Amino acid sequence: MSYKRWILVAIVLFGVGLALGLIIPAGSASFPSEDIAALSELSDILFSLPPPLMAIFIFVKNALALLLSFALSPILCIVPAATLILNGGVLAFVSTMVIQEESLGFLLAGLLPHGIIELPAFIIGEAAALSFGAMVILVLFKKKERSQVVPSLKQNLRYLMIAFALLIPAAIIETFVTPLLLT
């Protein structure tokens, strides 16, 4: 299957997650107060970092998540598929809560500046993971396809590097521009 189709598969899986996140009413989920306190403490630590370190942290976190998904993709493509659905669901769910508590403008100011770069990076990276994972799985059933594994790995690593490259400006924008828009 061509890489463009893997992009489409990744978009559809992310869209399924978005739909699921919108179906779950924001008021129906309750987070234990310990979880909220832990998240608050973590965000305090993150926002206390000097901005350049925060940008590096955001980039490394996102890059490691993509790398882990890619590395685990040969296990039935479960990790990249679940990652796409889960991230879509969390984005929709949290967006619904932010709109209820703040406004649509606040949500857009917080997401669009970096999300316009980060979301395509995420889709590109997860599509590469799905493509590579599917190739490895195919080889298990069709031995004659073995010669395609290394070229598939090389091609998908190139797409993964593109995703990593896009994550750099996304992290910089998330660190330096987004906070200015939310104040």
So what's the pLDDT on residue 40?
66
56, burial (CB in 10 Å: exposed 0-12, middle 13-18, buried 19+): middle
So what's the pLDDT on residue 43?
72
Please state the φ and ψ torsions of residue 34, each to the nearest 5 degrees: -65, -40
Q: Is residue 73 within 8 Å of 157, Cβ to Cβ?
A: no
For the entire predicted model, the pTM comes to 0.89
So what's the pLDDT on residue 77?
96
Percent pLDDT > 90 in the chain is 76
So what's the pLDDT on residue 144?
85
Residue 33 pLDDT class (50, 70, 90 cuts): low
So what's the pLDDT on residue 25?
64
Query: What would the pLDDT profile of 65-103 be if each residue is shown by its tens digit?
Result: 999 999 999 999 999 999 999 999 999 998 998 999 999
